[in-house]
Amino acid sequence: MLDCLRDLLRGTGTASKYDHSDLWKEIETILTVVRAEIVPHKVVSHLPLAECISPLEEWTQKWNAAADTQADLANVTRPKFFTRVWNRFLQYRKDWKQRVKLMTSFHLAVAAYDCTGETSESYEDDQGFEVSHFDFVTSPNTAEVSVQLSAWLETGLFQSSLGAEADTILAQFCQWLIRVDGSAAEMRLVSLLEIFVAFRVFCGGGPLSVRGGGADKYSLVSFARDFSYFRKLFKCFEDCTRISWTVGQIDLIQVKIYPVQRAIWLGWPKDLELSTLQTLQAFVGNRPITNCQGFSRPWHV
């Protein structure tokens, strides 16, 4: 309060921005017409008269005590409506402090868990992570995809609008997809997200967009940015090969990825399925991904 008064005297304060602005506006009005020199003096709360060492402190002690008395009387005579509102505010403040305390303890617990240095394998063991948790619908693999891609690869060339570097990646992706589909006994709906992760690991783990010229090699490429580039590659792949994919949607909620993902029917080996899902689990960690923003961080294999 003393600082507010000093600001008003210096002309740097605004009464309307203070608590109890109606009272401060009255004080501000008085200050504009008063001719006396006003010197604010801080008074120690409830200073005994015997400890006052100057007439100024005696004077301020007397009138500070008088102000406290008037405040006590005002509190006693407040209307019941004010008392009800004030008690509700005090209860709200108490509940709010408790919620903040609980939320802070939760954040500290998550941070402590993130900083333990545990490996992803130990986390999976604790949680009982298994591929059997996924209820994937499978069918015997007819190898139609690998046969069609092999036939096309013998006569086709990738000439996409993304550049020569991207065409090299597309050719490598086509050969990799032929091997993956041809080595699988069963096929299922495989999300583009899984295909992206598995292919990037196969390529050495670096961002595909850097290899394909879609990003500067000195840039910090996020998972989302690289996956977006992969989707562009896959669109070019579809346009070039003209394969009619059987498409659908699946979820990956068992690895805490909640947005539904586009998927295609493809032969998908069990060992590749396990390693890919474990890689996704390690990337997600302890914070579930509920929207695209969750992928907006770098991914280092």
C-alpha distance across the termini of the chain, in Å = 58
Tell me, what's the pLDDT at 134? 66
CA distance linking residue 4 with residue 15, whole number of Å? 8
Whole-number average pLDDT of the chain: 83
Phi-psi region of 155 (alpha: psi -120 to 50; beta: other; left: phi over 0): alpha
The pTM score is 0.56
| 270 in Cβ contact with 203 (< 8 Å) | no
Share above pLDDT 70 across residues of the chain, in percent, rounded to a whole number: 91
Q: Express each pLDDT in 215-248 by its tens digit.
A: 777 778 889 999 999 999 898 888 888 877 888 8
Q: Express each pLDDT in 54-77 by its tens digit.
A: 887 888 888 888 888 888 888 778
- 3-state SS, the chain, equals CHHHHHHHHHCCCCHHHCCCHHHHHHHHHHHHHCCCCCCCCCCCCCCCHHHCCCHHHHHHHHHHHHHHHHHHHHHHCCCHHHHHHHHHHHHHHHHHHHHHHHHHHHHHHHHHHHCCCCCHHHHHHHHCCCHHHCCCCEEECCCHHHHHHHHHHHHCCCCCCCCHHHHHHHHHHHHHHHHHHHCCCEEEEEEHHHHHHHHHHHCCCCCHHHHCCCCCCCCCCEHHHHHHHHHHHHHHHHHHHCCCCCEEEEEEHHHCEEEEEEEEEEECCHHHHHHHHHHHHHHHCCCCECCHHHHCCECCC
Q: pLDDT tens track of the chain, all 301 residues?
A: 788 888 888 888 888 888 888 889 999 899 888 888 888 877 666 677 787 878 878 888 888 888 888 888 887 788 888 888 888 999 999 999 999 999 988 888 888 877 765 544 443 444 444 544 567 888 888 888 888 888 887 777 777 677 888 888 888 898 999 999 989 999 899 999 999 999 999 988 788 888 878 777 777 888 999 999 999 989 888 888 887 788 889 889 888 899 899 999 999 999 999 999 999 999 998 888 888 888 888 887 7
Residues 46-55: contacts with CB under 8 Å, at least 24 apart: none
CA distance linking residue 43 with residue 50, whole number of Å? 14
Tell me, what's the pLDDT at 123? 39
